[in-house]
Amino acid sequence: MNLLWLQSGGCGGCTLSWLGVEGMPLFATLADEGIEILWHPSLSEASAAEALALIGACADGSRPLDMLCVEGSLLRGPNGSGRFHMLSGTGESMISWVRALASRARHVVAVGSCAAYGGVTAAGVNPADACGLQYDGDTLGGLLGAEFRAGGGLPVINIAGCPTHPDWVNETLIALSRGSMTREDLDDFGRPRFYAGQLVHHGCPRNEFYEFKASADKPSDQGCLMEHLGCKGTQAHADCNLRLWNGSGSCLRGGYACIRCTDPGFEEPGHPFAVTPKIAGIPIGLPTDMPKAWFIALAALSKSATPSRVRENATADHILRAPSVKKPGR
């Protein structure tokens, strides 16, 4: 299986994250799975002329293309011409090249939320008319259109995240190489279910504070960040607190609220990221699958039962009181 990787309207952060993969060296992992990187703009040693010749051969079909990976949003402006982003040395826009390559590829993969849905590049007034490969925000379409299917029969596979976890990328590529990924393995937004079938809330180190609705008041506090500080971990589809970053970290473990970066539109929540919008004191964004009435009832009950230890620790920058020790059988 050969792989061609293009970078479009983005920061390159998904590549940077990908290079931080743990375990075996990245290229050895891919080689063991029979995956050959034909070209990557940040990693390959090919000259510009060699790269353009290779890209051209993939686009005209003279060189087979198994996996096309695109990082960064697709810039359609101005006026649909794509001339805000030209592929140097070709006189053609990047979106023209992506369309041509996608029509030849066996699989098309969007690496990161920008390539998947438009992401940060599409925020605000979006003068570049940035979009994702097959989504424009949460709407099907994007650059390639809602009906697009790659040669292997799948729509665009959206490895959403800002940035993506390196394992999400590797496991997706390996599944495609082995022929084990089907449409049923993708969720409603085209994300692989092996990571998007979880919530960031699962495995959160602040879960005890969440259970008792013992909330942090400021960023340095140990308590739950949902009620006041904008955390959307109970709604965000990813396994960040189960599959740790660099072996030990996640946003929440670092003291930062989850901003739901694997979802379309995360870049424009309509409020500051570190603020929880409320109506009558109740957060607007409630946990996934939870009715509002039940949340209100359980929150009130939980707060009335909060142990003093949990309440004190929630608004401190370190643990003040450890759990009490009970003798066995009591």
Helix (H, G, I), strand (E, B) or coil at 191: coil
Give the amino acid at 269.
Answer: P
What is the CATH classification number for the domain harbouring 261? Answer: 4.10.480.10
Is the separation of the CB atoms in 74 and 10 below 8 Å?
A: no
Structure tokens at 181: 């990924």
Q: Are residues 180 and 267 in the same domain?
A: no
Cα distances from 76 to residues 29, 34, 123, 173, in angstroms, run: 35, 34, 14, 27
Within a domain: 323 = no
Q: Are residues 187 and 217 in the same domain?
A: no
Domain-terminating residue out of 196, 222, 242: 196
Given a cut of 90, whether residue 161 has pLDDT beyond it is yes
Within a domain: 325 = no
Q: What percent of the chain has pLDDT over 90?
A: 86
Q: Are residues 229 and 155 in the same domain?
A: no
Query: What pLDDT was estimated at residue 328?
Result: 82
Q: What percent of the chain has pLDDT over 70?
A: 100
Over residues 50-94, the pLDDT tens digits come to 999 999 999 999 999 999 999 999 999 999 999 999 999 999 999
Q: Are residues 202 and 186 in the same domain?
A: no
> For 210-279, what is the HEC assignment?
HHCCCECCCCCCCCECCCCCCCCCCCCECCCCCCCECCCECCCCCCCCCCCCCCCCCCCCCCCCCCCCEE
Within a domain: 218 = yes
Within a domain: 329 = no
Is the separation of the CB atoms in 220 and 259 below 8 Å?
A: no
Q: Are residues 79 and 189 in the same domain?
A: yes
Structure tokens at 253: 């473990």
Helix (H, G, I), strand (E, B) or coil at 130: strand
Within a domain: 291 = yes
Q: Which residue has the higher pLDDT, 279 or 103?
A: 103
Within a domain: 322 = no
What is the CATH classification number for the domain harbouring 27? Answer: 3.40.50.700
- What's the number of domains the chain is made of? 2
Cα–Cα distance between 151 and 105 in angstroms, integer?
A: 6
Within a domain: 328 = no
Query: What pLDDT was estimated at residue 291?
Result: 80
Within a domain: 241 = yes
The residues, any chain, with a CB within 8 Å of residue 263's CB and separated by 6 or more, are 113, 160, 189, 235, 236, 237
pLDDT band at 303 (very low <50, low <70, confident <90, very high): confident
Label residue 152 left, alpha or beta by phi (over 0 means left) and psi (-120 to 50 means alpha): alpha
pLDDT band at 283 (very low <50, low <70, confident <90, very high): confident
Q: Are residues 147 and 253 in the same domain?
A: no
Q: How far is CA 146 from the centre of its chain?
A: 20
State yes or no: cis peptide before 166, omega within 30 of 0: no
Q: Are residues 270 and 159 in the same domain?
A: no
pTM as predicted: 0.93
Query: What pLDDT was estimated at residue 177?
Result: 97
Over residues 28-44, the pLDDT tens digits come to 999 999 999 999 999 99
Q: Are residues 243 and 178 in the same domain?
A: no
Which domain does 148 fall in, by range? 2-196
Q: Are residues 56 and 188 in the same domain?
A: yes
Q: Are residues 123 and 171 in the same domain?
A: yes
Q: Where are the alpha helices (DSSP H) in 121-199?
A: 166-178, 193-196
Cα–Cα distance between 316 and 250 in angstroms, integer?
A: 20
Structure tokens at 73: 């949003």
Cα–Cα distance between 119 and 200 in angstroms, integer?
A: 19
Q: Are residues 225 and 115 in the same domain?
A: no
Residue 5 forms beta bridges with which residues? 69
Domain-terminating residue out of 196, 222, 246: 196
Domain-terminating residue out of 168, 196, 224: 196
Query: What pLDDT was estimated at residue 330?
Result: 65
Q: Which helix (H) or strand (E) holds 87?
A: strand 86-87
Q: Are residues 138 and 254 in the same domain?
A: no
